[in-house]
Amino acid sequence: MRIIESVSEMQQQADMWRGEGKRIALVPTMGYLHAGHLTLMQKARTHADIVVMSVFVNPTQFGPGEDFERYPRDFENDIRLATEVGVDAAFSPEAAEMYPEGYQTYVDVTRVTLPLCGKSRPGHFRGVTTVVNKLFNIVKPHVAMFGEKDFQQLVTIRRMVKDLNMDVEVLGHPIVRESDGLALSSRNVYLTSEQRQEALRLSQSLREAQTLIQSGERRSDIILKRVREILKAGKDMRIDYAELRHPETLEEVSRIDGPTLLALAVFLGTTRLIDNCVLNIPQ
């Protein structure tokens, strides 16, 4: 496993691989890897000759008062885990390498970033699109892999790539869950054991919504009412949002007549968790 910290070294290495006709896959991460990340890396391997992961806790996607400082980090373990799944290189720059003095350029995707996490976390997606744009220019991947847990992030990055004509194939991968349904997240480490139990309400409510669809319900307000009831029954849980939206435009959906995103965000104490699924009407 090659560890690269410098932008210019990473670009030179990418040029070398490309010159040899090799296909490059990038898995962008903020480190503290879990099985969800590792699945992305294994999947990346099936699409490319070279798999690069980036490990960078990007300051510009955290708002004031968010968990940038305490975001969990364990670089040595990340390298060990990524090596086991055959990752070829880790790009892990310092913040000053990515945002040197005088830095002043940002990429904005203006509409799909407005609702959901964009509403709760102003500036978050501007930070995400900017750093992903940079990472694509630095690692020069043919294909990049993102988990569907951050569904709005995936939609936003697809939109950026399409709009700016970036020649990168963006692939999403289904959420990886614990056996009891909890979506894997580096932030799960913040949870007390009681909170972890409460957090199961997220996946429970997603399953309940799918059951309602199966039984013929199509009205968004009815489905969301039931989802909110399940979430609200959690004693330490506060709902940030629970919404039904079009899976590409992220526009609100009042009646389910095709694949529809059910997106959830809650606070458990000070920890913010998200989860989602795309509801499908039975054939």
Please give the positions annotated as active site: 37
d(CA 127, CA 133): 10
Query: Residue 99 or residue 190: which is nearer to a second copy going by CB?
Result: 99
d(CA 162, CA 154): 12
**Restricting to residues 153-172, which ones interact with a second copy according to CB under 8 A?**
159-160, 163-167
How many chain residues touch a second copy (CB under 8 A)?
29
The residue assigned the tokens 């290189």 is: 89
Q: Is 74 annotated as a binding-site member?
A: no
Q: Is 35 annotated as a binding-site member?
A: yes
d(CA 231, CA 229): 6
Instruction: Rule CB under 8 A: say whether 102 interacts with a second copy.
Output: yes
Q: What's the length of the chain? A: 283
The residue assigned the tokens 């997603």 is: 206
Query: Residue 19 or residue 282: which is nearer to a second copy going by CB?
Result: 19
Contacts of 108 (CB under 8 A, 6+ apart): 126, 129
**Restricting to residues 19-58, which ones interact with a second copy according to CB under 8 A?**
none
Q: Is 47 annotated as a binding-site member?
A: no
Query: Residue 102 or residue 216: which is nearer to a second copy going by CB?
Result: 102
For residue 111, give the 3-state DSSP assignment.
coil
Query: Under the rule (CB under 8 A), what is the footprint of a second copy?
Result: 7, 11, 15, 102-112, 129-130, 133-134, 137-138, 140, 159-160, 163-167, 249
Which residues sit in the known binding site for beta-alanine?
A: 61
